[in-house]
A = this chain, B = another copy of it.
Amino acid sequence: MTTGYVFHPEYLWHDTGTSAGLLPANPAAGIPPAAHIENPEAKRRVHELIHASGLLGELMIIEPRRATVAELLRVHTEAHVQHLKAQSDLRAGGDAGDGFSPVGHGSYDIARLAAGGLIELVTAAAHGDITNGYALVRPPGHHATAEAGMGFCLFNSIAVAARHAQAELGLARIAVVDFDAHHGNGTQAIFYDDPSVLTISLHQAGCFPPDSGWTHENGTGDGAGYALNVPLPPGSGHPAYLSAMHQVVLPALNRFAPDLILLAAGFDANVWDPLARQMLTAASYREITRLLVDAADRLCHGRLVAAHEGGYNPWYVPYCALAFLEELAGTTTHVTDPLAAAVAGYAAEPLTPQQQAAVGEAAQLISRLGAAVTAS
């Protein structure tokens, strides 16, 4: 088994400016400049830990390239591609669409390098050069719709890679699992009427985007049934996510029988993340990943390709991402979560009735998935 790894310093150079957390600085309104919450630090520390732990030496490094415009247009409108290019050409950059998604000077090319990195990773998996892989990219992608950037996302890298896999690599049925703390609304919207791509998002109910990611959002037209959401209440942790895995994600994957699993690997459901209220630990990410790796082994020759999405705590995300990547690579390093003891009590909390209800409601929809006629 070989695990691929995509990384490039330009991913760290995507410039989100001096916004105060989420908002552009505006001294007159009492908003002084600061680092934007979607800044390179957490990701830089993930990469350095992967290297320093020795894990890097066990991975196959896959060089990214910039996605072509033609590849982007498989998913995005021409207007959106041109808008991002124009914003990116501005000396001080601009915004991708919603006023919360900074486009730095040059970020258009970096966003293409992110999407292209994922394309290369999927290609390597399709060719059997790697079994699975992880692209540690910025900017993130899962909130971006066909028409607009949103929630720090510029292009939807996972959607672009999925369409590439279908068009060029002979991978017809694709499942996108999204465990980022926020709803994978962009990916869902792009494939909402398409039964060839199953989207499953586990996220904090009512967090971001507002009023998005409810269970009743279940696909439309031919895609009816092929969008699944598990909106977990704020404060959900290990038991809730594991329950969602066992009752929703794994049964759905089994039933759908994908040729490829794409993973929107946001780590912002961790217990110390500023942008969500969930309570996962590195051990949680390890266990969830183990289940996904097993499913990929069982269903699609191990093909599981992950893109980094959110994750905003610079001192805890690295341990979550390392546990995840160790599991992908089927190995461990000498680095263990140094904060495990500090959260030991949290993970022990039992499932609440509310969490149980959220999972149960989603589980009832699995039967709407047409059983696969042909597996890969």
A372 interface residue (CB < 8 Å to B)? no
**B contact residues around A279 at 8 Å (CB):** 234, 277
A349 interface residue (CB < 8 Å to B)? yes
A206 interface residue (CB < 8 Å to B)? yes
Q: Which residue of B lies closest to A19 (CB)?
A: B315
Total chain A interface residues with beta-carbon distance under 8 A: 82
Contact, CB under 8 Å: B18 / A17: yes
Copies in the complex: 4
Q: Which residue of B lies closest to A277 (CB)?
A: B277
How many Å lie between the Cα of A94 and that of B90 in the bound state? 10
State the main secondary structure of chain A at its contact with B.
loop
Q: Which residues of A (196-213) have their CB < 8 Å from a CB of B? A: 206-207, 210-211
Q: Which residue of B lies closest to A335 (CB)?
A: B30
Contact, CB under 8 Å: A27 / B109: yes
A86 interface residue (CB < 8 Å to B)? no
Contact, CB under 8 Å: B15 / A30: no
**B contact residues around A79 at 8 Å (CB):** none
Q: Which residue of B lies closest to A271 (CB)?
A: B277
How many Å lie between the Cα of A112 and that of B210 in the bound state? 39
Contact, CB under 8 Å: B26 / A105: yes
Q: Which residues of A (173-220) have their CB < 8 Å from a CB of B? A: 206-207, 210-211
A52 interface residue (CB < 8 Å to B)? yes
Contact, CB under 8 Å: A22 / B352: no
Chain A window 342-376, contacts with chain B (Cβ cutoff 8 Å), 1 for yes, 0 for no: 10111001001110000000000000000000000
Q: Which residue of B lies closest to A318 (CB)?
A: B30
**B contact residues around A271 at 8 Å (CB):** 277
Contact, CB under 8 Å: B274 / A274: yes
Contact, CB under 8 Å: B17 / A52: no
**B contact residues around A322 at 8 Å (CB):** 30
Q: Which residues of A (231-245) have their CB < 8 Å from a CB of B? A: 233-237
**B contact residues around A319 at 8 Å (CB):** 30
Among B18, B45, B90, B234, contact of A235 (Cβ-Cβ < 8 Å):
B234
Question: Chain B's nearest CB lies how many Å from the CB of A31?
Answer: 6
A93 interface residue (CB < 8 Å to B)? yes
Contacts known (A234-B277, A235-B234); A32 close to B53, Cβ less than 8 A: no
Question: Chain B's nearest CB lies how many Å from the CB of A316?
Answer: 7
What would 5 more interface pairs be, CB under 8 Å, given A274-B313, A277-B278, A352-B354?
A: A22-B342, A30-B49, A30-B334, A33-B104, A91-B95
Instruction: Give A contacts to B, CB under 8 Å.
Output: 8-10, 12-15, 17-18, 20-34, 37, 44-45, 48-49, 51-53, 90-95, 104-107, 109-110, 206-207, 210-211, 233-237, 271-275, 277-279, 313-316, 318-319, 322, 333-336, 338-339, 342, 344-346, 349, 352-354
